[in-house]
Chains A and B, each alone.
Chain A
């Protein structure tokens, strides 16, 4: 996994609640057996018109959002299906972090496994960022080490993250390798139960 330490990037806003993983990556793209290349299918049904051309009304197609690497959205982002194709698509498109007031549990976990940082911020901070994201030059810096999000105009907001997950992200460690360190405990557990 690619480590996540500090990231500075352009911000795009998606002011919608309950964005589900069926929207993030529609079912017709789940048949591939690879982990890569899902970015071009991200938000497919919102992003493209029936004739295949980009939908100019969709938030990410607005010129000011081009090249954004941080997505700001509303409550319960990533609800629904457990498909990890959703974070794969967001990461492959170029996002490094998602900021929202709340996330669905499975999606949140899936992001952490892919070095895509899900950040929960208070609703009023998210509202402020959604407003700022309407500008084409708005950038945020995220420090995972410090657990803080800030801009160069005085906005700053701190966030919580599980210390174990934080460590994995900072180091970019493979979790399975790490779990093998605990194999003696797994063996002992299996023995005790058999």
Chain B
């Protein structure tokens, strides 16, 4: 009898090209996504050694990190422009398909992979970007790599990797109205910490996860890296198959039905043992806002900014002290009293259609508060087009939001979209690190609905109360 396996082990074993004691496994990579920031040195490495890209057909490139989201063809930053030109040149020279700024398929690499059907269950997927974990939502093993590894994959289509440890993250119960996938992952990281996933691949399970749409699942898996995990994934089901049907690069016709039969095997067997299991009750999760400089430094919206003394160790107390100084927040302050000057709805975490719909529902018929600058940056040109066709874009524009072209934008501020020093930003992105959105910028991570509400009121608001008003 074959020993029961987790989905993680199944995908891993399927991709081992070579195994030897005392060595990592040589793992085959099914899909390599490439963007402008972490690839130029890798292509240059190939050129210097006279090497080729082994499988350009399994490689796909786009530009997202640097791109301006207004007047996208006028790139004033010469260094950024140079990096995008380098990607164009490299893709041409090595035969790699590229969705450039002219392409209707351009967008954030982790938004377009799924959108184009490149992301599929059971695949091994890598990209020189830590948020590659997003693709795990489809039951793929997807992880971020450095530039040396990008070069290694370009040259060999493989990576030497140690078999990861496995962890089940079980989310039971049901979510209250106004509580979203973003709140779930923030609550998980808040409860277990920013490094509980180090060395592990996480499998998210439980009723809350099963009821989620693909886009919500992507939000969950996206932030696995903020828990330190090598990857996060969710076993595919009918929701996954329905999403993929008809996508550009997904199998077609009979081949699709055959693929679905194969994908259905991608589940953790009864009796399979994880190295660790953690549990969280979804019913207890509230809309969540970060107050500090790591994604674990968060509070339910009806809570308060903590006192450093509430933390157990000296290292934690010092970290909280530094974080509160950086954020300009006082212990004991209500989360709903934190005023914001900027709102950013976008990033590979929350820039898809359902995110924009969720935010638009709050915004509809209202105005952005005076003194607040609010941006919506769709994750891809396809999302942008669809939102314009559905009238979602107009809701934002009428309320006073800026409606932009797609890209990573204010999530990391590599392009001109940044937050000035000392100002607070309600952001649907994934990192609230010091300086992430601009030097001295004060980032609060929230869901799209919470960001939208903050834009309207000028401070954080419990969206559960807003939904109650809608119901009445």
Which residues of A pack against B, CB within 8 Å? 16-18, 20, 22-23, 26-28, 30-35, 45, 50, 74-76, 79-84, 87, 102, 104-106, 109-110, 113-114, 162-164, 175-176, 179-180, 182-183, 185-186, 189-190
Chain A residue, CB-CB nearest to B39? A33
Contact across chains for B146 and A84 when beta carbons are under 8 A apart = yes
Contact across chains for B26 and A185 when beta carbons are under 8 A apart = yes
Contact across chains for B414 and A106 when beta carbons are under 8 A apart = no
In the assembled complex, the CB of B285 is this many whole angstroms from the nearest CB of chain A, namely 23
Instruction: Beyond A80-B130, A189-B28, list 8 extra A-B contacts (CB 8 Å).
Output: A30-B65, A32-B83, A45-B439, A84-B147, A102-B198, A110-B146, A180-B155, A186-B157
Task: Say yes or no: is B413 at the interface (Cβ < 8 Å to chain A).
Answer: yes
Contact across chains for B26 and A176 when beta carbons are under 8 A apart = no
* In-complex Cβ contact of B66 among A31, A80, A180 (8 A): A31
In the assembled complex, the CB of B221 is this many whole angstroms from the nearest CB of chain A, namely 16
Contact across chains for A113 and B148 when beta carbons are under 8 A apart = yes
Bound CA span A30–B147, Å: 12
The residue in A17, A82, A190 that gathers the most chain B C-beta atoms within 10 A of its C-beta is: A82
* In-complex Cβ contact of A31 among B28, B143, B414, B433 (8 A): B414
Contact across chains for A31 and B434 when beta carbons are under 8 A apart = no
Chain A residue, CB-CB nearest to B22? A163
Residues of B within 8 A of A110 (CB): 146-149
Contact across chains for B433 and A82 when beta carbons are under 8 A apart = no
In the assembled complex, the CB of A90 is this many whole angstroms from the nearest CB of chain B, namely 13
Residues of B within 8 A of A163 (CB): 22-23
Chain B window 5-41, contacts with chain A (Cβ cutoff 8 Å), 1 for yes, 0 for no: 0000000000001100011101010000000011011
Contact across chains for A82 and B435 when beta carbons are under 8 A apart = no
Bound CA span A175–B37, Å: 22
The residue in B23, B146, B158, B322 that gathers the most chain A C-beta atoms within 10 A of its C-beta is: B146
CB within 8 Å of A: which of B36-50? 37-38, 40-41, 44, 49
Given that A16-B319, A22-B434, A164-B160 are contacting pairs, would A79 and B194 also be in contact in the complex, using a CB cutoff of 8 Å?
yes
Residues of B within 8 A of A33 (CB): 40-41, 44, 82-83, 86
* In-complex Cβ contact of A18 among B144, B158, B194, B414 (8 A): B194
The residue in B18, B54, B86 that gathers the most chain A C-beta atoms within 10 A of its C-beta is: B18
* In-complex Cβ contact of A32 among B79, B149, B431 (8 A): B79
Contact across chains for B414 and A27 when beta carbons are under 8 A apart = yes
Chain A residue, CB-CB nearest to B313? A17
30 contacts between A and B (CB under 8 A): A16-B319, A18-B194, A22-B434, A26-B435, A27-B414, A30-B37, A31-B77, A33-B44, A35-B147, A82-B132, A82-B145, A83-B37, A84-B128, A87-B146, A102-B195, A102-B198, A105-B199, A105-B228, A109-B145, A114-B148, A175-B160, A179-B26, A179-B160, A182-B17, A182-B18, A185-B17, A186-B17, A186-B26, A186-B158, A190-B28
